Amino acid sequence: MSTLVDESHDIIRTERGWPGHFIAAAYCLFRRNTLLECDQTKVVVSTVGGYRRGVNIIEIGCDRYYETLVFYGKLEGAYIDADVSSQIYFDSPWSVVTMHSSVDNDANEMHENVVAELTQKLKDGLIPPRPIKDEDERESE
């Protein structure tokens, strides 16, 4: 379901039911993917974690169990998915480094904080549209 976040800037937020990044996301117990759209700029905020291998939860990367990353969105078939070769950097905390009983709440809060930061940057015009890459040119031929 999509929500119009800000009428004056036409920012649309859509929560999606699949992971936005991490090749082993199918093994993660926690996955969030939020698409933010503002005119021609599409941004995917992706949080994954709780990486289960066997009966253990292991680190998803160096010294972290959950992570949030942001990418430009790219039309892939019928969906706008994360272009993992076009990362967008942000200032909010992006990782959870310890496991505890309410870690999913921390991951949700982290995700929401990143969505809020990127929404504000879109409103302020601080995120330009995704740059065109060579492979985009080849795909349009």
Q: Comparing C-alpha atoms, which of 15, 110, 84, 99 is closest to residue 51?
A: 99
Could you list the beta-strand ranges (E) of 54-131.
56-58, 66-76, 79-87, 95-96
Residue-level pLDDT, tens digit, the chain, 141 residues:
565 555 556 899 999 989 999 999 999 999 999 999 999 999 999 999 999 999 999 999 999 999 999 999 999 999 999 999 999 999 999 999 999 999 999 999 999 999 999 999 999 999 988 876 655 544 554
- Write down the domain spans for the chain: 2-140
What pTM, to 2 d.p., does this model score?
Answer: 0.88
pLDDT at 136: 57
